[in-house]
Amino acid sequence: MKALSIIYGLALAAAQAQTQTAWKNPPLTEPNRVELGADWGNAYARGMARLGRDPFTTPFVLADVDFGMNRWFTNFSGDISGRFLEVTSLTSTGDHPQPAILTEVMDRIGRSQKADGHFGAEVKWADPIDFNTGTDQTKVMPILWGNGRLLLGLVAAYERFGQSQLLDSARKLADFYVNIAADRFCDPKRIDEYRKPSAYAGNYVTCVFEGMEGLVRIYRATRDPRYLQTVRRMADFHETFDALPVDHSHGSLSQHGALLMLYEETGDAKYLRRVVTRWDRAVKEGFINPSGGVLEKFWVTGYDRDEGCSEADWLRLNLLLWRNTGETRYLDMAERLLWSEYLANQWPSGGFGHRYIGCDETGPYSFQKHHQESLWCCSFHAPLALYHLKSYLAVAAGNQGIYYNFPVDFTAPVQVGQTEWTVASRQLPAASNALARCEVTLTGPASASVPLYLRIPDWSDRVVIIANGKMIHPENKGGYLWTPPVKSGTKLALAFHGRPYLENRRLQRLPIPLQLPASLDKVAVKNGPFLMVNANSGDIQTVALKVNAAGILQLPDTNSPVTLSPYYQLTNAGDPHAFLFNVKLEKTR
């Protein structure tokens, strides 16, 4: 039987007509119950495996709080120890802490806590802040950055393992923010002091407000209203300093994630508006490059490397924005990031870090060589974001059905009302212009059925759906194709069709010129979810592309002097690869 083809326009506004008033935050699946496979799953598994190898020993992890050994960034007290605690606790089961050193880290970390609740060197908090433009080896600001990361780690470890001493330490640290840090560092009379120049990693706005996310998390664990009141005070004061460009994209993006968490707890729409406004500006003005990533400094250009932590926070922010708005443009951005910048940032060891990025006066144009595997931050933070991603692959649409968000390999349990369903998605090879193909099996009680809501990717212009050899008649609603109820055991064959297209550097699709031949300088080539890169060079080169009689762009064949590939297909992944091209368009003969 001929499959039903669902054709819909490319205008995203029509596809994303879901209103915030109608949207309710969907419950998320526990990530440890989700299996993520293929390229994304491989990146996650390799990232987590890296944390079980050298140099990650107990003395190494604890050095930033007990100063028992010399290593990187011990003055950022709680940065490595907190990150380690958070990601390893979350990815462990309650009866099986992994890696092996996690148990000892949890047992020992509280011994280094100071009487006022903070971790790190002794500080006279009333003294002037020791800002220094020449180094980040200062005291006050790095302690606040690290303590913010450690608060998250302590809460995650307590929630996973239930050990009372972990909660006691987390409460003492949160009380430090309530009783000391918020008063000292959110004082309108001291704004001139806060604005003093400093090294960007020891900057006021970067370090002080990193505690907001952990305060929301401990509020959720304890429901102590003081913690929510304190984070609201910090978030409101943060707005004075919250601007683009800013020198630390990791800090800025993680703080905006905290604003979304605060919105979830308070319902105060001003926090959501701040993040949506920032997202819109970052995309429109070029702070987000064609690969979907950001620079280590939250600049449009003028800096030459990315940072795995920043890409991780950008991923988490987009997922949270979808959860709080229902707008699929945020999942489109997450998908773009994951297939390009995220994979390009991973090292052969499995760790993450910094990659050099080729920039001109307008912004990034290429992945250059790997620069630094960041065993102090990115190698924790990038797997952490992939861990959270697992909750978003398939999500319950309240009691109504299941959102299927990404056509990739995964198996996920989804609780729809009182019924648990298993969604098994398996990627199939592309065929017949179907840029992504998946077989999806829904398994629940024998007599049950459930609607499936398939995200319409921004790169797809036609979706073919076959259920057990029969056509499905979905409805286009809010960026999703809503199918009629699907019975348990049904196998759905999904084919996402699309065609290659060109984008400018601000992620806007370009029409094919009416008059050919034509030349377009410094443009991106997209094919399905993939940003095409130059397999052989990190320089912007000229590529000749044909346009057929129907006006459809054709990718070059294997004889082309310039080879275009999705990044994930490259075996020599560490070499330079440009993602912008000078394109010459010609008609096919």
Q: What is the distance between the alpha carbons of residues 247 and 299, in angstroms, rounded to a whole number?
A: 7
Q: What is the distance between the alpha carbons of residues 437 and 463, in angstroms, rounded to a whole number?
A: 10
Condensed to tens digits (0 to 9), the pLDDT of residues 324-379 reads: 999 999 999 999 999 999 999 999 999 999 999 999 999 999 999 999 999 999 99
Q: What pLDDT, on the 0 to 100 scale, is given for residue 232?
A: 98
Q: What pLDDT, on the 0 to 100 scale, is given for residue 17?
A: 38
pLDDT surpasses 50 at 564 = yes
Q: What is the distance between the alpha carbons of residues 475 and 54, in angstroms, rounded to a whole number?
A: 52
Q: What pLDDT, on the 0 to 100 scale, is given for residue 572?
A: 67
pLDDT surpasses 90 at 50 = yes
Condensed to tens digits (0 to 9), the pLDDT of residues 284-335 reads: 999 999 999 999 999 999 999 999 999 999 999 999 999 999 999 999 999 9
pLDDT surpasses 60 at 13 = no
Condensed to tens digits (0 to 9), the pLDDT of residues 395-451 reads: 999 888 999 999 999 999 999 999 999 999 999 988 877 899 999 999 999 989 999
Q: Which of 163, 158, 266 is nearest to 212 (CA)?
A: 266
β partners of residue 583: 520, 543
556 burial level (CB within 10 Å; 0-12, 13-18, 19+)? middle
pLDDT surpasses 80 at 120 = yes
pLDDT surpasses 90 at 574 = no
Q: What is the mean pLDDT of the chain?
A: 93
Q: What pLDDT, on the 0 to 100 scale, is given for residue 473?
A: 80
Convert 81-127 into a string of H (helix), E (strand) and C (coil): HHHHHHHHHHHCECCECCCCCHHHHHHHHHHHECCCCCECCCCCCCC
Taking residue 559's Cβ as centre, other Cβ atoms within 10 Å add up to 6
Q: What pLDDT, on the 0 to 100 scale, is given for residue 557?
A: 81
Q: What pLDDT, on the 0 to 100 scale, is given for residue 107?
A: 98
572 burial level (CB within 10 Å; 0-12, 13-18, 19+)? exposed
Q: What is the distance between the alpha carbons of residues 292 and 334, in angstroms, rounded to a whole number?
A: 8
Q: What pLDDT, on the 0 to 100 scale, is given for residue 181?
A: 98
- The pTM of the full predicted model, rounded to 2 decimals, is 0.95
Convert 297-350 into a string of H (helix), E (strand) and C (coil): CECCCCCCEECHHHHHHHHHHHHHHHHHHCCCHHHHHHHHHHHHHHHHCECCCC
Ramachandran region, residue 381 (left: φ > 0; alpha: ψ -120 to 50; beta: rest): alpha
Q: Which of 203, 192, 235 is nearest to 133 (CA)?
A: 203
Q: What is the distance between the alpha carbons of residues 125 and 176, in angstroms, rounded to a whole number?
A: 11
